[in-house]
A and B are shown apart, each in its own frame.
Chain A
Amino acid sequence: MSEEKKSVSVTGAGVITGGSYSRVSISGAGKIVGDVYAENLTMSGAGRVSGHCEVVLLTVSGTGTFDKDVIADEMKVSGVAKVNGQVKVKELKCSGTFKAAESISSEYVKVSGMLHVSGDVEAEIFRASGGFDVGGLLSADRIEIHPGGRCRAQEIGGAKIDIRRYGSRERAGLLDSLLRALSSSWGGDVEAALIEGDEIYLENTRADVVRGKQIQIGPDCKIGLIEYSESLKIHDDSEVQKQNKI
């Protein structure tokens, strides 16, 4: 009567041919040959997809390698994932390690692990408490970074950019100050050639050029040039070589 959509799972070692599935689960070592379409794809062992991968929910808690594009509503990486094509998702949560050889486009990105992207990252909201390395432009409406490792991007651009250490708030509580004291030893910093935005707040950041409307430079920054159009405040513990009001 009707072609039933099958679920498939690999627990030992196996090869699956591409196609449409309901659920695909790889907990051993598995390879999917060809394009795969599924509601749910879970890789808790070692998995590889040789074709395009289009799913609703993609979870990688083991290692996952995707040779072509990945399209998903939700992608969760708590293990190690590598995508050699484009990544187009609605929500990306990375608490493990994620390497993208091209670009990532997602409405929401949350990084608490490590994200490596050779191209650009485009999002509406980008939040990072881990580390990242973006070879191109990191662009989002709201960018919030609590550097938890080395955070590097060629360019960072958006409406609101907020980079600060853990526990760094205007009125810090006890826990906040404790976290802050700790984070100065294990926290990371942010490095970019260019940072552009309308409202910018920076801490622990090194940048060649920062441009924006309202810029506030918190502690521990090293900036080559700041160009601002409305306001600029610079913390005493930061170094700014040159500033221009434009």
Chain B
Amino acid sequence: MEDEHLISKKDVLEKMGISYGQLYRWKRKGLIPEVWFIRRSTFTGQETFFPEDKIVERIERIKNMKGEHALDDLADVISEHVNAKIQIAFGKLKHLGWFDEDLGKAAGIVIVENEDGTLSLRDALRLAVLKKLRRSARSEEIDLASRTLDGVIGKEDIDPSVVDGKTLYLLRKQLSGGGISAEISVIIISGGEIIVDPELRRIDSVDLAGMLQQVKLDLAACCAPGQTTKKSSVNQEEGRNEHE
């Protein structure tokens, strides 16, 4: 790897007009890759440096997003290439907390099992939600949730607004009478608070918008800079995708 021009952390903050809090927050969110944090000893002790071009471009991109929707918007930028069916190394996909091959197969999500897996954002969200439910749901409830989700996120690529503020709930109710006892499962996706009868027990819930954002960030981390797809690189700056 050729030597890149490095910039110290305090110079980055000053140059870009950002705070330590912001920088650490973005790092935690995975918006700034770990490998960009380069620790060097200087005469004042340990200092952290960054590859200047990369960090400046990334922070500008993050800063250009307006206000509180910053992360969502960045996630949207990222999702552009996610929707373009980005090829993610199968090995990397496996490391995502919510990635579960067997669960995916059961829900009819096809992941190409060669070196590179392809996963659409829609399937990624579906998988992440089901994975989360798996801790509390029975297999037929997972199937029920999967079919309910289809009604919301559809068959096309996701428009983030369809899951805005929505939460998926898993509820159960015990029925008994005539010596027979049975339990029914209910899946509800709602944009507001739900009030249900007291006999329905709330088993689990998943915040869909939050999950979508998480999934996007995870996928973005998977196809970290230098691996961005042709599509998004061409849009922004040309001919910078000759890595390795």
- Chain A positions within 8 Å of B, measured between CB atoms, are 1-5, 20, 22, 37-39, 54-56, 69, 71, 88, 105, 122, 139-141, 157-160, 193-194, 196-198, 208-209, 211-213, 224-225, 227, 229, 246
Contact = CB atoms under 8 A, between A and B. Distances in A.
Contacts of A160: 21
B92 interface: no
A74 to B, nearest CB: 12
Contacts of A37: 134-136
A55 B20 contact: no
A55 to B, nearest CB: 6
Nearest to B19: A198
16 contacts: A1-B182, A5-B138, A37-B135, A39-B204, A54-B134, A56-B204, A88-B97, A141-B21, A193-B45, A194-B45, A198-B20, A209-B45, A213-B19, A229-B10, A246-B10, A246-B14
A30 B42 CA distance: 52
Given A2-B140, A139-B24, A159-B22, 15 more contacts: A3-B138, A56-B135, A71-B135, A105-B28, A139-B28, A141-B25, A157-B24, A158-B21, A159-B24, A193-B45, A194-B45, A198-B20, A209-B44, A211-B10, A229-B14
B139 interface: yes
B46 interface: yes
Interface in B101-141: 134-140
A227 to B, nearest CB: 7
B27 interface: yes
Contact of A225 (B44, B97, B183, B203): B44
A159 B136 contact: no
Contacts of A1: 182
B202 to A, nearest CB: 11
Contacts, number: 87
A71 B136 CA distance: 13
Nearest to A161: B20
B20 A197 contact: yes
Decide if the interface of chain B is mainly helix, strand, loop or mixed: mixed
Interface residues of B, number: 27
Interface centre among B28, B137, B185 (most CB of A within 10 A): B28
**Interface hub of A4, A5, A105, A229 (most chain B Cβ within 10 A):** A5
Interface in B165-203: 182-183, 185, 203
B20 A159 contact: yes
Contact of A198 (B14, B21, B97, B135): B21
B183 A2 contact: yes
Nearest to A242: B44
Contact of B28 (A55, A88, A122, A211): A122
Nearest to A105: B28
A105 B27 CA distance: 12
Contacts of B25: 141, 159
Nearest to B44: A225
A118 to B, nearest CB: 16
B74 to A, nearest CB: 18
A82 B135 CA distance: 21
A28 to B, nearest CB: 24
B34 to A, nearest CB: 9
Contacts of B24: 139-141, 157-159, 196
